[in-house]
Amino acid sequence: MSQLLRHLRRGLSAPRRFNSTEAASSKVVFSGIQPTGIPHLGNYLGALRQWVDIQSSTPPSAKLIFSIVDLHAITQRQDAESLRRCKKEMLAAILAIGIDPKRSIVFEQSKVMQHAELMWILSCGASTGYLSRMTQWKSKLGVRVDANPFEGKSTAKLKLGLFSYPVLQAADILVHSRATEVPVGEDQAQHLEFTREVAATFHSSYGEVFPLPKTVLSPAHRVMSIRDPLVKMSKSDPQPHSRILLTDTPEEISSKLKKAVTDSIGGVSFDPKNRPGVSNLVQIYAHMQRRDDFENVAMDFGGCNMKALKDRVTECVIEGLKPVREEYERIMKEGDRYLEQVAEDGAIRARESAEETMQLVRNAMGLA
């Protein structure tokens, strides 16, 4: 759900149904990522590093909630042992990048049943017509953007969990903080609009409980495959050399970047359309140094040839990921009990947070 919720910052407002004059009391940050195992460089630069930035920059009064969204993962069939391993690796990586489980709430989505409870409640009012126009299930199934879920081959391949995926995403957004603003990447704007839709539908039946979340587009770092710079870096790519993992050794990083796709044009320039491979390396180098002036970064390389470019990017990535890799190794040596305790403590705190919202929802509906 790194491409699912990105880094979601929200303000916590009192539900107007119960007290329309109470002002927002504190900020709540919620973000989630799917349990794909050890994150790759794209996950880190696109989302996870921002989590650490949020943790270091927000005041102590803010509530920070970071979730491993394993319920989203099972919209596609998962091997049980593989899923357990991937959740463990993802949790260890989240801690290794600098998320402090005492400052932030870190938990597995499936351990907080209020997510699924609110999803069911919202599903009862969700429009199948609206869901049929969502792009998530179409991209997962590889069907046309105008595909009808109730006709033709789409019907046979489409499962209810994938079709209703946006409803669970809406529940994720609403259950902890009843958000008023949710900054997301452009590719997630449709999901936030759907969240507003289901919240409004709930309000039309039961009165206002959730302030309608406002979509605030925010830039996101897109890291492309180093073997095919026209597609995003992904764990699903069958080529291991297409991605750099946060735990890769210096030798592995060097080997992968030596094989990165570039071109035969002399010098270094930033031109994603005509020089996607070179531009991707320039962006990786820039992002690792927290820069976004890509043209200037390219100029800094002067008349470097492709070998020199790859060498400098390799050195930068190795240096930047070294503390993460070392901390990950230390955490894994702690044994399973440490990670289990972090996950359990986080789940307890997340259940308390989500239950505050669900009590208001149940009261509004007559379920309590």
**Catalytic residues, which ones?**
140, 232, 235
- Block residue for tokens 């349990």: 35
3-state secondary structure of 61: coil
Burial pattern 87-108, b for ≥16 Cβ within 10 A else e, equals bbbbbbbbbbbbbebeebbbbb
Alpha-carbon distance 146 to 319, whole Å? 46
3-state helix, strand, coil in the chain (%, to 5): 55, 10, 35
Nearest-CA neighbor of 87 among 162, 36, 43, 27? 36
| Nearest alpha carbon to residue 285 among 316, 318, 320 | 316
CB 163 within 8 A of CB 129: no
Nearest C-alpha neighbor of 236 from the set 86, 132, 30, 111: 86
330: enclosing H helix or E strand? helix 306-333
Would you say how long the chain is, in residues?
368
Q: Residue 241, exposed/middle/buried by CB under 10 A (0-12, 13-18, 19+)?
A: middle
